[in-house]
Amino acid sequence: MGKGDVFSVNESTTNNTMKTQELKIEGMSCGHCVMSVKKGLSKLAGVVVEDVQIGKARIQFDETKISNQMIADTIDEAGYKLVSVN
């Protein structure tokens, strides 16, 4: 894009309900934990797992399909604890 070009962000054309969220997770300690969390979250319809590391995960989720409670439950089922989201 050259100097002087008009850069317009056209938000109205993206019919996008996906929201990115950082999750803080307690109880993870190794690569196995990372895989478990990744696997659990991936199973949720409406969630795209972007990145999982020990103690945290970054996901995109469809707000119309997924609630924080569902995310918390999924992490709980995998054996860990969701402590905060932002």
By the criterion CB under 5 A, which residues form the site for Cu ion?
29-30, 32-33
Handedness of CA 60, 64, 68, 73 (dihedral sign): negative
Residue nearer to Cu ion on the CB measure, 18 or 54 = 54
Smallest distance from the beta carbon of 23 to Cu ion, in angstroms? 16
Instruction: State in angstroms the smallest separation of the CB of 8 from Cu ion.
Output: 46
The phi, psi pair for 22, rounded to 5°, reads -95, 130
Which tokens sit at 35?
Answer: 């895989």
Smallest gap from residue 68 Cβ to Cu ion (A): 24
Choice between 29 and 53, CB closer to Cu ion: 29
* Residue 68 in tokens: 């924080």
Instruction: Tell me the β-bridge partners of 81.
Output: 26
Specify the residue, 6 or 30, whose C-beta has the smaller distance to Cu ion: 30
